[in-house]
Amino acid sequence: MIFVLVRFLLCAMAAFGVLSQPAQAQAIAVERECHAEARLDESWDQVAADPARWNCGRTDWTHTAQTVLIRFILGDGENRLLPQSITTHTGHFDRIDVGLVSRDGSIVWASHWPQDLRHLGTGPYMALPLAGVTAETAEIAVRVVRPWNKTMLSEMKLDPHPDGTGWPLPMIVSMAAICGMLLVPLLVNTAFYSVLPERYVIWHLVMVAAMLVQAGVATGFIHLLGAQDIAWEWQLSNMAFATMGSAALMFAANFIEPGLLPRRMTRAAGWLAGAIWTTGVLSCIRLEMVRPWSSGAMYLAMGLAIAMLCIIMIWAQLRGSKAVWFQIYGWSPLLVIGAWRVAAYLVPSFHPTEAIVVYQLSLAFEVLVTAIGIISRFVDVRQERDEATARALELEGMAGRDPLTGLRNRRSIERRFEDLFLAGFRTMAVIDLDNFKAVNDTHGHATGDVVLRAAASALAEDRDTRAIRMGGEEFLLLLRGPDAAARAERCRRAISSRIASEVEGLDRIVTASMGLVEHDTKGKLRIDFATLYARCDQLLYEAKRRGRNCTMREKVTGFQPPLAPAEVA
């Protein structure tokens, strides 16, 4: 599956001309790179004239200012490589002004809006072409108006290719494989949930789906599907990020074995998950009053999620949880990378970075280990349920089973009839052994008991059949499915052969008669046990009257007529 997905992505990239780009950008000689904050009403010359306002290091980036200025001072040299575009991490902004500063100090400005930038399909980058750069260009001036995140600013670079340069081919293949791996647990967990519906499986599905969307945005592969608006992409990334964090909390709170986490901790995880998702929604609102804090609030919320996940794992581990070890092994790399990304974004003295490569690798590792953990948890839960079912059957056997034949008794089936009827068990068959009194009179009651046990063995249960001993030599079948009547008839006929093979010394063939009603197999009508049983009993009496060793059956399909004419089988 993964290799098919990788091959598909590579073919799609080739079709879109992605792989025709340079494998790796050649470095542009930049003597110095500096950045500064400014108001909208301040000009470039005003800020450039004050050296104290410029930071020429890789730290203290901010996006809260109205504008952020970046200057790339080009190096000298006759054979220097001239920049042809500006590439940076994808992000939202109002406008980017680019100025080409000549050696004589003159500046030629050009303004660009979000729709002017080109998204790359080989990485989470966007490119802005530079026109008119010559050997006389001494500096590239950039003014970003109302940026929405730091990494778009801190990752800005000069590129020698007009269309920008993305990842090399090996990196593309690796990232494509990781994206393909994220699809595997979606398929596996869907199959698990159909067999064992547990909430943690649903939360893991939501989490992995959000990871897949976020990975598609983070790697730039989403642009293979077509051109997306920058604002739309930024909002999608925020919502996927928030959904991933909140679903991870809910998964962790539900994945641990029941009873090991205090209720207040699971409630706190639920409240925090809701707060994270709400923060994601609010951060997508395109208002100036939201812009300064939107991305910072998202990173802070994810930092709180990481802290809560660590608390849950430590608490569960100290209380002997086995399931938590899959979380510890699987989540540790991702939590470390996530904590670094949060710190790098929130702490001014750090350089903001998305750490895409190690982040995607940690996602792949988490998915693999957690998927194994879900399989293990699935096996444990299934074993617990099997043991509980076995104990329930044992208890039911003492009160709801016939001690002679081991079949269910009348009391147990009457109590559960309504649930079984709603579950599709709408065909009832009453079976009575013919001339059974003669067997008792001739061979004794001990032999009669053996005959009853042999008859019961011919009425073995399966997922679509319930077998009951009503008393004496009378049995009852509840069946579901389109072939219910035919299966009941096979059971009736099997009684004779089973008794003949298991009971020695009989001087006769023991046959059985049956009255059967197929009552509304499409689920439109309702009936109680006593009424349906009474009609089957009437049909059984009619089968006895007609000579025994046969079946009288009716099929009820509507309100009128109440009962269809009886048929002999």
pLDDT, residue 26, reads 58
Neighbouring-strand partners of residue 99: 109, 141
| pLDDT tens track for 500-526 | 999 988 888 999 999 999 988 776 778
- CA 374, 380, 384, 390 dihedral sign is positive
Q: What tokens appear for 124 in the block? A: 């989470």
pLDDT, residue 567, reads 57
Q: What tokens appear for 475 in the block? A: 């049995």
Identify the band that residue 198 occupies on the pLDDT scale cut at 50, 70 and 90.
confident
Pairing of strands 551-556, 567-568: antiparallel
Task: Quote the pTM value.
Answer: 0.60
Identify the band that residue 18 occupies on the pLDDT scale cut at 50, 70 and 90.
very low
Rounded CA separation 302/110 (Å): 38
| pLDDT tens track for 267-326 | 999 999 999 999 999 988 888 888 888 888 988 999 999 999 999 999 999 998 888 888
Rounded CA separation 149/61 (Å): 10
Residue 557 pLDDT greater than 80, yes or no? no
Rounded CA separation 454/236 (Å): 66
pLDDT, residue 7, reads 40
Q: Are 39 and 66 in contact (CB under 8 A)?
A: yes
Q: Are 393 and 446 in contact (CB under 8 A)?
A: no
Task: Read off φ and ψ for residue 438, nearest 5 degrees.
Answer: -65, -35
Q: What is the DSSP string of 145-192?
A: ES-S-SHHHHT-EEESSTT-----HHHHHHHHHHHHHTHHHHHHHHHH
Burial class (CB in 10 A: 0-12, 13-18, 19+), 473: buried
Q: What tokens appear for 217 in the block? A: 């945005």
> For the chain, what is the mean pLDDT?
83
Helix 2-15 to helix 169-181 angle (10° resolution) is 130
Residue 23 pLDDT greater than 50, yes or no? no
Cα dihedral 493, 494, 496, 502 in deg (nearest 10) = 180
Q: What tokens appear for 167 in the block? A: 């990842």
The structural domains of the chain, ordered by start, are: 28-159 (2.60.40.2380), 182-384 (no CATH), 401-568 (3.30.70.270)
Residue 380 pLDDT greater than 90, yes or no? no
Helix 183-195 to helix 356-400 angle (10° resolution) is 10
pLDDT, residue 479, reads 94
Q: Are 454 and 404 in contact (CB under 8 A)?
A: no
**Of 274, 269, 230, 244, nearest in space to 88 by CA:** 230
For the segment 327-340, the average pLDDT, to the nearest whole number, is 87
Task: Read off φ and ψ for residue 337, nearest 5 degrees.
Answer: -65, -40
| pLDDT tens track for 538-551 | 999 999 999 999 99
Helical H segments across 286-355, by residue range: 291-318, 324-346
Within 13 Å and on the Cβ side, how many CA atoms surround 366? 26
Residue 135 pLDDT greater than 60, yes or no? yes
Q: Taking every pair of C-alpha atoms in the chain, what is the biggest distance, in angstroms?
A: 126
All residues at 6 or more sequence positions from 283 whose CB lies less than 8 Å from its CB, including other chains: 238, 242, 290, 294, 295, 297, 298
pLDDT, residue 6, reads 39
3-state secondary structure string across 478-515: EECCCCHHHHHHHHHHHHHHHHHHHCCCCCCCCCEEEE
For the segment 391-403, the average pLDDT, to the nearest whole number, is 68
Q: Which amino acid is at 482?
A: P
Over pLDDT 70: what percentage of the chain? 87
Higher pLDDT, residue 277 or 197: 277
| pLDDT tens track for 60-102 | 898 889 999 999 998 776 667 889 999 998 888 999 999 999 9
For 24-53, b where at least 16 C-beta lie within 10 A, e where not — what string?
ebeebebeebbbbbbeeebebeebbeeeeb
